[in-house]
């Protein structure tokens, strides 16, 4: 027995030992190999070898790193059995993660169940906005929502307080309009509540307060943020109207309904 191997130090027989010491030399050599490679023995299905330390040939069997199975944006780590990670690919826009025992991971991406109330948003107006405008003007009452699916519908409900002060002896109207952004949804004279006052003709300084309520079902077909708001106008420039009078609150509620 003479020269050790360069990498592992296993004792290798020399040519002059091949006759006299061959059995013993190979026994020593075999034991050295068996001892060195003992850490490579065993493991279970699905495991991988990992370095246990900086020592040569020092390995251990471990379960596969679940992060290595992620290969796309939105991937999730799930499992098909105990200690068996699996990749669940991302779904499509608007889908939600749903339990499903028929799939290998017990999960799946699916469309939002129909007819479900998905979210509720409220906007309030507690200050008063005054104007003599005879063209539609923002009242300050609004609410913003971001639909979770483009197929959702938005139910808009508002309760609007309004008041006015008249300086002319004539009849007049006060109108409310509902908009999605800059798009008219409910237009006076068509399908929106009209606040209408018809005071007597003897007085020219009258104040009125009124509450108007309205509901509208919209289909915005988007998953972007959208703002609903109201506008007001009168049909007489002698009218000073107020969107929300003192000590009152106007409210707008938005409900997202799954299609």
- Quick check: 124 pLDDT over 90? yes
- Quick check: 155 pLDDT over 90? yes
CB 43 within 8 A of CB 62: no
Residue 130 pLDDT class (50, 70, 90 cuts): confident
- Quick check: 163 pLDDT over 60? yes
Distance set, CA 188 to CA 2, 160, 176, 232 (Å): 106, 15, 7, 10
- Quick check: 225 pLDDT over 90? yes
**pLDDT, tens digit, 9 for 90 and up, residues 199-222:** 444 455 556 777 888 899 999 999
| Contact partners, residue 211, CB within 8 Å, separation at least 6 | 159, 160, 161, 162
Look at residue 169 in the predicted model and tell me its pLDDT. 62
**pLDDT, tens digit, 9 for 90 and up, residues 72-113:** 888 888 888 887 788 888 988 878 888 988 999 999 998 777
Length of the chain: 259
Q: Which helix (H) or strand (E) holds 34?
A: helix 22-36
Spatial separation of the C-alpha atoms in residues 259 and 148, rounded to whole Å: 11
Look at residue 179 in the predicted model and tell me its pLDDT. 94
Mean pLDDT of 119-127: 94
Look at residue 200 in the predicted model and tell me its pLDDT. 47
Q: pTM (2 decimals)?
A: 0.57
- Quick check: 236 pLDDT over 90? no
Domains of the chain, CATH where assigned? 3-63 (no CATH), 66-110 (no CATH), 117-257 (2.60.120.760)
């Amino acid at each position: 027995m003479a020269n050790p191997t360069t990498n592992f130090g296993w004792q290798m027989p020399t040519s002059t030992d091949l006759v006299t010491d061959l059995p013993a030399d190979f026994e020593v050599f075999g034991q050295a190999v068996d001892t060195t490679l003992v850490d490579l023995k065993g493991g279970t299905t699905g495991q991988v070898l990992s370095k246990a330390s900086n020592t040569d040939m020092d390995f251990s069997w471990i379960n596969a790193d679940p992060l290595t199975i992620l290969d796309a944006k939105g991937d999730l780590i799930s499992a098909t059995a105990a200690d068996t990670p699996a990749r669940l690919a991302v779904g499509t826009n608007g889908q939600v993660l749903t339990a499903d025992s028929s799939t290998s991971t017990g999960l799946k991406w699916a469309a939002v169940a129909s007819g479900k109330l998905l979210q509720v948003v409220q906007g309030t107006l507690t200050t008063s906005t005054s104007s003599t405008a005879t063209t539609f003007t923002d009242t300050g009452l609004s609410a913003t929502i971001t639909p979770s699916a483009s197929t959702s519908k938005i139910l808009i409900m508002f309760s609007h307080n309004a008041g006015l002060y008249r300086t002319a002896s004539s009849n007049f109207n006060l109108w409310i309009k509902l908009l999605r952004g800059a798009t008219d949804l409910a237009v006076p004279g068509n399908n929106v509540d009209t606040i209408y006052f018809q005071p007597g003709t003897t007085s020219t300084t009258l104040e009125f307060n009124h509450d108007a309520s309205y509901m509208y079902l919209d289909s915005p077909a988007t998953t972007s943020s959208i703002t609903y708001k109201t506008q007001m106008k009168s049909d007489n420039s002698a009218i000073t109207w107020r969107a929300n009078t003192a000590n009152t609150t106007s409210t707008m509620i938005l409900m997202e309904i799954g299609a």
